[in-house]
Amino acid sequence: MLFVCLGNICRSPLAQGVFQLRADACGIPVMLDSAGTSAYHVGQSPDPRAVAVARDWGMDITAQRARQLKPSDFLGFDTIYVMDGSNLEDVRQRAPACSMTDVKLVMSLLSEQGHLRDLNVPDPYYGSQREFQEVVVMLNQAALAWAQRWTESDRLTSD
């Protein structure tokens, strides 16, 4: 799964981190990565505020480096989870006509269970540490829903 936001230094690195945390805890074998629709921060480490919030959650995201979404991502990933409606539009526009990759809002993992109305993970870049904390709380809810669904479907297929 690939997580995509605008800059690839705030939301999608946190998404990669928190989904990896839940995947590890549940023993889910999955390949995770993240990218940005823009090239603004290519090569940079995650924003220090994201690094700090991640650390509070027991995650080390400092090895991640920002990169831009590339055409081969539409071959290499079954699912691209984006953070907001603007990302959704940008990513869908870049998908090659033959792409089989599913492009979805990450918070749709919760709305499928009828829990949520606003499906955007707000951009925290111009916000404070508090906005970053809210981003992780939202992404953790999505990751828990994803892990639960994965575990249930795995149990069903192995029965």
Query: Measured from the CB atom, is 8 or 101 closer to ligand 4NP?
Result: 8
Which of 38, 21, 20 minimizes the C-alpha distance to 30?
A: 20
- Cβ contact 87:5 at 8 Å: yes
Query: Measured from the CB atom, is 40 or 150 closer to ligand 4NP?
Result: 40
Burial 29-40 (b: 16+ CB within 10 A, else e): eeeebbbbbeee
Q: Which range in 6-14, 15-23, 53-61, 142-150 contacts ligand 4NP by CB under 6 A?
A: 6-14
Of 1, 9, 35, 53, which one interacts with ligand 4NP (CB under 6 A)? Answer: 9
Nearest-5° Cα angle at 113, 159 to 101: 75
- Tell me which residues in 20-59 interact with ligand 4NP (CB under 6 A): 40
Contact set with ligand 4NP (CB under 6 A): 5-11, 40, 123, 125
